[in-house]
Amino acid sequence: MTAALKFTVLLLTLVCGRGQLFNDIDYFDEEVKPAVLDSKYGSLWPLPQKVKISEVSFKLTSASFKIVDAKDSSAGPSCSLLKDAYRRYYEHMFGIAKRQQLSKSRRTGPSELTELQVWITSPDSECDGYPSVTSDESYELVVDQPYAVLKAPKVWGALHGLETFSQLVYEDEYGAKSINTTQISDFPRFAHRGILLDTSRHYLPIKVILANLETMAMNKINVFHWHIVDDQSFPYLSRTFPQLSQQGAYHPYTHVYTPADVKMVIEFARLRGIRVIPEFDTPGHTQSWGKGQKDLLTPCYSGSEPSGTFGPVNPILNTTYDFMSQFFKEISTVFPDAYMHLGGDEVDFSCWKSNPDIQKFMAQHGFGDDYSKLESYYIQKLLNIVSSTSKGYMIWQEVFDNGVKLKPDTIIHVWKGNQEQYQSEMAKVTSSGYQTLLSTPWYLNRISYGQDWRGHYKADPQDFQGTEEQKKLVVGGEACLWGEFVDATNLTPRLWPRASAVAERLWSAKEVTDVNDAFSRLSVHRCRLVERGIPAEPLFSSFCPREYKGV
């Protein structure tokens, strides 16, 4: 602590009292330590697997630079996904001004880079397809004269390569743009790199969802886990059961996601290489479902009389499974991804225990007083229903913990406990041969004063006791932003750039752990997000060359 700071502490002690002050000063002392040295990797985020940047630089101008298909690219001029990406990244680099034709009187100099050629090398570019958990997202980027070349087997890698190229562009104090000679070979460490947004506790306008999908692409995050309904509201407008949102949404017209809205989100995400995985969580978290679907929820009892309240989905009625069969058949056709998330967490058994019909059913099936067996009975039947739609499923860890019979390709989503507990859970899940995702250390709705991104950055989904084969069963992780205290007013700044820390952990090599280097790159990356119109929170005291101007 410097002499000046010690003197300040002495003065403040007289005013504030010693105990609380020194708690604050200790914390403050830690916070003033982040390195401010420039990273040798510039502002690349997430850090590519292999990077070589030289000091030789080329100028870029909006008048002469263009992004084009390479001559031998399999995507061809008809690939609208790439054409849309070329336009988007040109605007990221040069603004929205239209590119002007190079005048005959102006010649490009030897130090000017005028072209990025994008070469899709696989015969099937997947331009018209949807990204999946097995998609090839690798790419190679070479920036040199006479032009830069971006090679990728599939369009998904090309999208990431375009983002990387845009991050290599920098400008001097006069606004002139340059890029250095660079060689990059890159691919993600994990196939599933997700963000969960909750649209039930608070309705999120489509505009907000799309803006965050755009930001996800800027961080190479490739899964939007859409926790679309919950106890509080049912904003999904079902074609088969329109009464669910008519009765269960906060408002049946202004606070719902229509089929056209859902289709828009899925296509917007596809064009950025992002999968959309919906979550319809049952048998708990379903109070909003019961408002529009009679007899779906369990009537709770007070003594021998119904209390007028309802609990989880009623697992003993055939009508329950008839409804679920029709509903999930619809979901399987609306959402193209091979997986859907079925929830299965936090089931409160108290209502089931109070219901005499449930008690009788328990006795008939030999479940005794173990209501987790009743939950497993329901989940098993639901999983069979979903399997009949040819979809795979993800479930929260409680379903695995309760011993439900699961398909071999089931993905177990770990979210509970402290570090020791979630590491133990990851070991149990993988030792049973199941694939798993981690979210426990990445609940971004939990906030604290200071640089909590560093804790998110240090957490690693493969840090648990297990064999290499077990580690390979970790398909990735997700940052979760639950919506109790989050709506359109604060979602984006709360999410970014904290989610960027998770993005690098899931993309970059395991050895990329230098927090000081990360701080340097992330600070500039955050300013880049701000320049692109994203109100990402600052990491610490600083300024951006172009500050956020609001909407």
DSSP state of 536: P
Q: What is the DSSP string of 13-47?
A: HHHH-HHHHHHHHHHHHHHT----SPPTTTT-SSP
346 included as an active-site residue: yes
Q: Are strands 177-186 and 139-143 parallel, antiparallel or unpaired?
A: antiparallel
CA 461/CA 475 separation, integer angstroms = 9
- What is each CA distance from 112 to 91, 148, 150, 383, in whole angstroms? 19, 11, 18, 58
Strands 435-438 and 411-414: parallel
For the chain, the distance separating the N- and C-terminal CA atoms, rounded to the nearest angstrom, is 41
Q: Which residue type does 387 have?
A: S
Residue tagged active-site, from 30, 171, 346, 547: 346
Q: What span, in angstroms and rounded, lies between the C-alpha atoms of 50 and 69?
A: 24
Using the structure block, give the residue that is written with the tokens 């699961």: 406
Residues contacting residue 282 through CB under 8 Å, at least 6 positions apart: 289, 312, 313, 324, 342, 343, 344, 378, 382
Q: Which amino acid is at 310?
A: F
Neighbouring C-beta atoms of residue 480, cutoff 10 Å: 23
Cα Dmax for the chain: 92
Residue 55, phi then psi, degrees to nearest 5:
-90, -5
Active site residues: 346
